[in-house]
């Protein structure tokens, strides 16, 4: 009986860990701050795909999605473009595309 109770108590911290997910979203679902940062740095790039990486937190019996980053992807191979931005609009990584004004 005590062994079962100890096993259950040991498993509780594992159940409380946030769940990380990635989901494809439309450009209109990307926050304005993130879109503005993208356009200011790279211009208006069309025909790409936006994804959001987020974690699901269980707080007080409620599940809340907290965004971790937003990623724009376009093309593949040598033509591949990928830019990841923070929820605050800060550029975290970029590949295959040059900034409009490289000094900023």
- CB under 8 Å to 25, separation ≥6 — which residues? 50, 51, 52
Is the Cβ–Cβ distance between 87 and 67 less than 8 Å? yes
pLDDT bin (cut points 50, 70, 90) of residue 4 is low
Q: What are phi and psi of 11, to 5 degrees?
A: -80, -20
The pTM for the full model equals: 0.77
Q: What is the pLDDT of residues 37-91, one digit of tens each?
A: 999 999 988 889 999 999 998 878 888 899 999 999 999 888 899 999 999 999 9
With H, G, I as helix, E, B as strand and everything else as coil, classify residue 34. Answer: helix
Contact between 48 and 72 under an 8 Å Cβ cutoff? The reply is: yes
Distance CA 57, CA 36 (A): 28
Alpha helix (H) ranges present in 1-104? Answer: 2-15, 32-42
pLDDT in tens, 28-45: 999 999 999 999 999 988
């Amino acid at each position: 009986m005590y062994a079962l109770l100890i096993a259950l108590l040991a498993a509780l911290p594992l159940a409380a860990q946030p769940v990380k997910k990635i989901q494809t979203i439309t450009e209109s679902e990307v926050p304005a701050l993130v879109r503005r940062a993208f356009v200011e740095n790279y211009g208006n790039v069309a025909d790409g795909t936006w994804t959001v990486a987020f974690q699901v937190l269980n707080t007080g019996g409620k599940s809340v999605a907290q965004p971790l980053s937003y990623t724009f992807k376009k093309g593949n191979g040598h033509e591949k473009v990928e830019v990841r931005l923070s929820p605050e609009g800060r550029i975290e990584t970029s590949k295959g595309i040059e900034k409009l004004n490289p000094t900023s």
